[in-house]
Amino acid sequence: MRKDINARKKAEISVTEILEERNTILESIGDAFFAVDKSWTVTYWNNMAEKVLGKQKQEMLNRNLWDVFAESVGSESYKNYHKAIESDTAMHFEDYYPPLNKWYEISAYPSGSGLAVYFKDITERKVSESRLKELNENLQLQTKELATSNAELEQFAYVASHDLQEPLRMVTSFLSQIERKYSDILDDKGRQYIKFAVDGAKRMRQVILDLLEFSRVGNLDDSLEDVDLDKLVNEILALHRKQIDEKKAVILFEDLPVIHSYKTPLRQILTNLISNGLKYVSAGAAPNIQILCSETESHWQITVRDKGIGIDPAYFDKIFIIFQRLHNKDEYLGTGMGLAIAKKIVENLGGTIGVDSSEGNGSTFYFTVLKIQAA
């Protein structure tokens, strides 16, 4: 008899130990945890559950879960807990609890005695997720609006510059008629005024042509081909032959690669950079231009380096903006469109363009072109 009592005592002690150990685990897991029996009576409620749901152990233990959380009857949690028990499978889900304005990540495990529920507060994550989603949607909307307004602007520039050509042609042609037919009756001043007017019309024509070119970037029906850069540079130089000879320009390049890209846009960029290199030298100085090509894994990098007047780094951004010039037309002729056009083309081809320079020390313009272009 005495032996029996001892054995029972020992068994009770070890059950208590096991329960204590289980409780220690359930209190220290970091997740909130509660357990209910098959009739939804709460049999366990850990410290974290107190914190996360704001209900103390003593108000929960031995109470019916749905009496305490009456407003949750029919909620996502309600449905999933029932499903877990009915189908005898674990359920993992997220649920929003309006009274506390919180989101929870919940795992419900059915057991022989009822249901064990682990959950944690994921409100912060949910808020950042929805904020991110909202930001993303806004960004997409803005990108779309930007693309539309960009397209409209290009269309406007195209139509405006196209329609301006005709009246300008009239102005120019009547000015030259006056010059031809009435030069006898015009005095020097009159002839000079006409010359200024013709000059202005010429410049305006160039501005219109540049604007047209700018608005057309990206709309060319050009096809991908193997472009021999050596050959392309030679073609560009041939078109500048007169200027090169007159200024005794030195132009160096060798063994430029053949790259698989779009020829016309490449020609436009290189033409603009090379003609700037020829133009922006001190009066009387011979231009000196070097053209190089290097490669990274994904891009070709083409460099056009000159020994001309150079650029103050403060203006590196400005020079790539349309109509922005650092010199007036009496110093160096131009419309301020060349680099803006080059930048737009380069970016269209998935590359970047930049400059390195300082005043008096020449300029190095470089741009990259994707090695594998999307067709």
Rounded to the nearest whole angstrom, what is the least distance from the CB of residue 131 to ligand ADP in the complex?
Answer: 41
Cβ nearer to ligand ADP, comparing 299 with 343: 343
10 Å CB burial of residue 146 (0-12, 13-18, 19+) is exposed
E strands present in 90-205: 91-97, 102-111, 114-121
Rounded to the nearest whole angstrom, what is the least distance from the CB of residue 334 to ligand ADP in the complex?
Answer: 2
Cβ nearer to ligand ADP, comparing 59 with 331: 331
Q: Is 326 in the site for ligand ADP (CB under 6 A)?
A: yes
Rounded to the nearest whole angstrom, what is the least distance from the CB of residue 175 to ligand ADP in the complex?
Answer: 24
- Total residues in contact with ligand ADP, by rule CB under 6 A: 21
Separation of alpha carbons 155 and 158, rounded Å: 5
Q: Is 338 in the site for ligand ADP (CB under 6 A)?
A: yes
Residue in 217, 337, 346, 369 binding ligand ADP, rule: CB under 6 A: 337
Sheet containing 114-121, strands listed edge to edge, beginning at the edge strand earlier in sequence: 42-45, 32-37, 114-121, 102-111, 91-97
Residues 233-292 that bind ligand ADP (CB under 6 A): 272, 276-277, 280
Are the C-beta atoms of 342 and 355 separated by less than 8 Å? no
Q: Which amino acid makes up residue 309?
A: I
Residues 306-325 that bind ligand ADP (CB under 6 A): 306, 308-311, 319, 325
**Residue that is written with structure tokens 């700018």 in the block:** 214
Residue in 217, 339, 345, 353 binding ligand ADP, rule: CB under 6 A: 339
Cα→Cα distances 231→103, 237, 244, 273, 340, Å: 65, 10, 17, 16, 25
Q: Is 336 in the site for ligand ADP (CB under 6 A)?
A: yes
Rounded to the nearest whole angstrom, what is the least distance from the CB of residue 278 to ligand ADP in the complex?
Answer: 9
Rounded to the nearest whole angstrom, what is the least distance from the CB of residue 337 to ligand ADP in the complex?
Answer: 6
Rounded to the nearest whole angstrom, what is the least distance from the CB of residue 333 to ligand ADP in the complex?
Answer: 7
Return the SS3 of 108.
Answer: strand
Q: Is 335 in the site for ligand ADP (CB under 6 A)?
A: yes
Cβ nearer to ligand ADP, comparing 263 with 343: 343
Cβ nearer to ligand ADP, comparing 95 with 210: 210
Separation of alpha carbons 215 and 158, rounded Å: 6
Are the C-beta atoms of 365 and 353 separated by less than 8 Å? yes
Cβ nearer to ligand ADP, comparing 84 with 340: 340
Separation of alpha carbons 205 and 202, rounded Å: 5
Cβ nearer to ligand ADP, comparing 109 with 315: 315
Q: Is 302 in the site for ligand ADP (CB under 6 A)?
A: no
Determine the interface stretch with ligand ADP among 97-105, 179-187, 293-301, 303-311 (rule: CB under 6 A). Answer: 303-311
Rounded to the nearest whole angstrom, what is the least distance from the CB of residue 186 to ligand ADP in the complex?
Answer: 32
Cβ nearer to ligand ADP, comparing 340 with 349: 340
Rounded to the nearest whole angstrom, what is the least distance from the CB of residue 176 to ligand ADP in the complex?
Answer: 25
HSE toward the beta carbon, residue 272, CA cutoff 13 A: 27
Cβ nearer to ligand ADP, comparing 299 with 344: 344
Are the C-beta atoms of 218 and 367 separated by less than 8 Å? no
Return the SS3 of 204.
Answer: helix
Of the candidates 124, 64, 118, the residue with the CA atom closest to the CA atom of residue 93: 118
Q: For the chain, how big is the Rg over CA atoms in Å?
A: 39
Which neighbouring-strand residues pair with 110? Answer: 115
Rounded to the nearest whole angstrom, what is the least distance from the CB of residue 309 to ligand ADP in the complex?
Answer: 5
10 Å CB burial of residue 219 (0-12, 13-18, 19+) is exposed
Determine the interface stretch with ligand ADP among 115-123, 171-179, 236-244, 332-340 (rule: CB under 6 A). Answer: 332-340
Q: Which residues bind ligand ADP (CB under 6 A)?
A: 272, 276-277, 280, 306, 308-311, 319, 325-327, 334-340, 363
